[in-house]
Structures are given as structure tokens and as C-alpha cells.
Amino acid sequence: MSERWARAALTAYRYAGAVAYPLVGPYVAWRASRGKEDRARRRERYGVAGRPRPVGPVIWIHAASVGETIAVVPLVESILDYGVNIVLTTGTVTSAKVADERLGDRIIHQYVPLDLKPAVSRFLDHWRPELAIIAESEIWPMTILELGARNVPQVLVNGRLSDRSFLSWKKRASVAEALFENLAHVIAQSDVDGERFRALGARPVTVSGNLKVDTNPPPVDERVLATLQRQIGGRPTWAAISTHDGEEVVAAEVHASLHKRHHGLLTIIVPRHPDRAGALAAQISGMGLTVARRSKGDRISPDTDILLGDTIGEMGLYLRLTEIAFVGRSLTSQGGQNPLEPAMLETAVLAGRNVQNFREAYQRLLDSGGAKLVRDRDMLAGAVNFLLTNEVARHEMIAAGAATVDEMRGALARTLKSLEPYIQPLVVKARLKGANGR
């Protein structure tokens, strides 16, 4: 069996260039984020533990970035209630900050080791997890094979496979089967995702719904919110959030086309990657628009055209400043971003047509009237204009989105039910350890 594992790993890495992130996992993420890491904890990337292992059973839970981390927080909290130790790994400084803010010292946070045998082995030798829970689409050959070699049950939760990833895996079906057969259970987000995992050899597969629906709305500092609301006053607003390259300029052009029609219009642009903010501010200012940068503490004055939300962890603030939100990575990029947070915060959702990564969520919102897809800049401008002009239609759209989110809830309970056979033995073991004082 070990020979088959080795062959699968070698084949997987040989095709890494074609399959991209699903196969090379944290290594690609690490290469892309060099210079943005927590230098004091860099050794954790090589599996060197930053903390001692606690006494008793340990569950390893991994969430790659901010979205996945937020999604698993309620799941982590539910497992903590059983009294089992959790080591939570993430891949970015931002997600580490989210874990600290929302879970604190109730868990042990580590940066995920690179998907290379020495790093993974060192990590597993120290933490000795008795269950591994991996969020969404983090499929790493070496990590999966090493856990399999140690007979550690691996459960993929909130599992999803994008169109691109699924097609890439299908081309290498034997590699997929050799890896996915190591998964003890796949808990998929949707029926489509479930069928895709089954087609690639995963067994058993159940469908839970999207854990992101069962999270709380993103938090906000009420004092900061009140300050910005006073600065904005009664001005009409709309937001373009989680934007990718090209979409910020589109949003600025929409503002330029609408600001005379809607006196005092303020456009809020929140780029997915705030490190691009300097260049974006210069580019938008070059269009003759006045930009206030949130990271600089710029005041929103009556002549401010654009509030550039170039901070991390303040999506709850930006969404509470408007009732209309265009969700990016959907017009000039492909895949889309999560529309559930704006819907939770009573915001009418707009997006481009490339929303494959959140297909089910968008379909539910579209069916209920809680979201609308646009083809291009002009169609986006028309949609924003319509919603700014028609208060009744805007509020009907907002209500439909909020109701859809409520109807979609329940993924957490279904996920916990599927995890119960793997967690309960560890709960018993933890209680026995406590009773014996060891």
C-alpha cells in the first residue's frame, strides 16, 4: 500500500502545474505570500511546533484563509464544548488574526505546514492528531498520504470542487482515487459537489449545505460605525466588495456615470487584497475622483467620491454603511466570492456572471429575488441606479436575501451529526484521561 501512496504523491506533483492549487496547496500559498508572513512563526511552516502538545486527544482542524476560518468557527466551538483539544491551522496572517479574535486561547493555533514530507511528518510527530478535519477544497497529496499511513481518520467538511478543479482531477482519475480513498468521509456543500466527490472515488459522501450560512454576520465596532455614519449623513451609497483586478475601475466608472443623477453619491470599494490600495487610490484619483482611504483614517468629507476600504477584518463595517453591494471576482475574474455575508446584513446583492464557486448560494438567492447578475459595467450601472431610485424594490430584494439565508441554515447540525462517529470516541477518551488525572 505504501508503494501506491508514493506513486500517487509523485504523480500528483508531476501534474501540479496543470492542476494548480488543489494539488500543491500550502506551498503555492507560501510562495505567493513571502514577505507577508509572521516572521517570528516561520518555522511552523516546516512543521516545527510553536507550542507543547496538550494532554489527551487532539483534533487537527485546518481552514486555509479568512473565509474558511470564519466558516469553521461555529464547528470548532461546538467541538470544544465536548472537551476535546483542537489544533487549528490556517495559511495566512489574516486568518490567524481571525482565529485569535474569535477563538482566543480556547484552541492552539499553528500555521499549516508546507505539503512536503519532512514538514508534514514533523508536524504529525509532535501533535499526534487522532482526527483531521479539513475545510472546503484543501486537497494536499503529501498531507493526505501521511495521515493515511498513520491511520488517522480524515474528514473533509464544507467540501466543494470548482468546475476547474473537478475537470483537472477527472483527467487524472487514478491519482484522485488513490488520494480520495484515504478520506474517511466527505461532507459536501451541495448535491453537485457531492456527486463530483463520488465521481472521483470518495466514499462515503454526505451533503450538509454550506457552513458559511450558519455563521454569525461579520462583527463591527459600533463606535467606528457611528462615526462613519455621521460623516456620510444622508448621502446615497453603494459598495463593490471583495473586488479583483479591473473591478475597482469598473466601480469607479459606475460612480462617475451615476453621481450627477444621485446627488452626493458615495461609492465604497473594498478590494479583496488591500495591499493593492496604493496603486488603486492613485488610479482612481487619476480619473478625477476624490478618494478617502480607510487605512489612513481619512475623513469622509462632502466631496469624497470613493471610500476605499483598504483594511482587513472590517467587512461588517462596510456592509452596514449601504444597502446595495456588488460582490466581486465575478465580472473581470472567475469564480465569484461569498454572497451570504451581504445577504445576512440586509444588503441587495449584485454580481457578475462568473460565480461558479458559489453556484448554489447564488442560485438560491436568484430564485428568491435576493440577488441579480449583471453582464458588464453598463448593466451594473443600470442595476445600481434602479436600486438607488426604487426603495420598495430595494427593500423587497433585501428581504428576499435575508429570508433565503434563513432557509439555508442547518449545515452545522448536519455536519456535527456526520462527525459524531469520529468525535465521540475521543470525547470518551478525554473524559477518561480527566478522571485518571492524566
Which are the contacts of 266, defined by CB distance < 8 A and separation ≥ 6? 232, 235, 236, 237, 300, 304, 305, 306, 307
User: CA 305 to CA 251: how far, in whole Å?
Assistant: 11
Residue 103, strand partner residues? none
C-alpha distances (whole Å) from 139 to each of 60, 155, 258, 291 are 15, 11, 44, 41
The whole-angstrom distance between residue 63's C-alpha and the CA centroid of its chain comes to 8
For the chain, the maximum distance between any two Cα atoms, rounded to a whole number of angstroms, is 74
Query: What nine digits make up the cell of 228?
Result: 462613519
Annotated catalytic residue, options 44, 68, 314, 323: 68
- The helix-helix angle for 93-103 and 66-80 (nearest 10°) equals 30
- 112: number of CA atoms within 13 Å, CB side? 31
Roughly how many angstroms between the first and final C-alpha of the chain, as a whole number? 36
Which strands form 266-271's sheet, in the order they lie side by side? 291-293, 306-308, 266-271, 237-243, 324-327, 348-351, 371-373
Q: State yes or no: is 68 an active-site residue.
A: yes
Which are the contacts of 18, defined by CB distance < 8 A and separation ≥ 6? 168, 171
**Residues assigned a catalytic role:** 68
